[in-house]
Amino acid sequence: MHSNQGPRLNPHIASAPLYTPGTSVEEVAARYGVAEVIKLASNENPLGPSPRAVAAIRAALPELFRYPRIADDELRARLAERLGPNIGPEHIATGNGATELLALISQGFIDEGDEAIICPPTFPMYEIFIRRRGGRPVRVNLTVDYGYDVEAILAAITPRTRLIFICSPNNPTGTIMTQAEADRLMAGVPDRVVVVFDESYLAFVDRDDHVKAIEYVRAERSVILLRSFSKAHGLAGLRVGYAIAHPTLAEYLWRSRLPFHLGSLALVGAMAALDDVDHVSRTRELIIAERAKLVNRLKELGLFVVPSQSNFIIFRPGYDPQTVYEHLLRRGVIVRPADFFYMPDFIRVSVGTPEQNERFIAALKDVLDNLAADRSERSR
Ligand SMILES: Cc1ncc(COP(=O)(O)O)c(C=O)c1O
């Protein structure tokens, strides 16, 4: 703008960091002329979308000229059925991905100067949404083992604390909050503070001691659980997520959404995906088996790897992650340097099909061997 007399911008929105998505297959294919690019950068489902969702979306196309049903009642009712006793549609709020619900949560609870506790390294959107509202993100870092420091979180609560964000499994570390840790947390958090349990990657957990946060909803605590259709259902492009909370909180989130917030294809696709139990279980089995293999292969390369309960793994490449990332791009493999996720020395790789994982390991080994050769050349 030419003068400083232009429109007055909200400084919080103008200065909040932007979300940077993973690099796309098309970009890399065009830039490096690689024919077959694999993307292991955005924790997408290596088996693709739920086939039942795809069929339902196809069948619904002729109705696209109509407005979607404004109510998401049917989707919420079907979700509630699957969530077990004492959870009804009134406990659920849907959103344009879990991301929209994160935005609605910050909008609903954070005013200028309010505090929200986040536990980096974690999903950066928590901080971005808090800052857009003029709120203050209070950082309580994960422990050296990338676990939650419950006592430090409790000690960080002040009269201005409105929200605590717990991500389990956590993006980007793949580590979890256990039931015992969550019980200690919930015993100390006053009910005026809302604890958000982001469970976008819950389907990939195989440890028995993971927190069963839905029990806090049943116990009528101030919690909001977030879930997503982007991962286990393979519908990241459709944009559907949901929150589970006490009806008062669910209705509060519901009030601030847009009319027609979910398109008709999103509604039918999500409902069909819920019935596609087979796709979710095949995805889960693949991820659990492949992540174990991938962790071993990375360790065989002598790298430090954090054990993961999710569909991605974080590792320290031992060289500048940006350099390793760029060399991998040239070999047609897209991963994610983790600086954006508060881990500047690490790279995050999503678990893919067995073939994709092998190709990634072969490319990484080649890159690391070349960098080692360069290093010893220079030191001579
Ligand atoms: C921890 C976490 N929460 C929420 C989301 C957002 O998911 P959605 O695609 O449902 O908006 C992501 C996406 O990567 C995530 O990693």
**Ordered DSSP codes for 74-102:** HHHHHHHHHH-TT--GGGEEEESHHHHHH
CA of 8 to the centre of ligand 1 (A): 32
Class of 51-276 in CATH: alpha beta
Residue nearest to atom 16 of ligand 1 (CA): 171
pLDDT in the model for residue 380 = 76
6: number of Cβ within 10 Å: 8
CA of 102 to the centre of ligand 1 (A): 9
What are φ and ψ of residue 92, in 5° steps? -120, 140
Q: CA triplet 282, 283, 285: central angle to 5 degrees?
A: 65
CB under 6 Å to ligand 1: residues? 43, 97-99, 123, 167, 171, 198, 200, 228, 230, 236, 241
First to last CA, the chain: 54
Exposure string of 142-180, with b = 16+ CB inside 10 Å and e = fewer, is beeebbbbbeebbebbeeebbbbbbbbbbbbbbbbbbee
Mutate to test the pocket of ligand 1, among 19, 123, 235, 262 (most ligand atoms within 8 A of CB): 123
CB 170 within 8 A of CB 120: no
CA of 95 to the centre of ligand 1 (A): 12
Q: Which two tokens stand for residue 153?
A: 């979180």
What is the rounded distance in angstroms from the CA atom of residue 334 to the CA atom of residue 204? 22
Low-confidence ranges of the chain (pLDDT < 50): none
CATH number of 11-48+278-379: 3.90.1150.10
What is the rounded distance in angstroms from the CA atom of residue 110 to the CA atom of residue 172? 25
| DSSP per-residue letters across 60-77 | HGGGGGSPPPS--HHHHH
- Alpha carbon 68 to its chain centroid, in Å, reads 27
Q: Which two tokens stand for residue 356?
A: 């994709």
pLDDT in the model for residue 375 = 85
Residue 259 DSSP SS3: coil
Atom from ligand 1 closest to the CA of residue 171: 1
Mutate to test the pocket of ligand 1, among 230, 262, 342 (most ligand atoms within 8 A of CB): 230
CA of 378 to the centre of ligand 1 (A): 42
Q: Which two tokens stand for residue 191?
A: 């009910």
What is the rounded distance in angstroms from the CA atom of residue 160 to the CA atom of residue 193? 9
pLDDT in the model for residue 123 = 97
Strands 194-198 and 161-167 come out as: parallel
Domain map (residue ranges) of the chain? 11-48+278-379, 51-276
Residue 128 DSSP SS3: helix
CA of 375 to the centre of ligand 1 (A): 38
Q: Is it true that the peptide bond before 172 is cis, omega within 30 degrees of 0?
A: yes
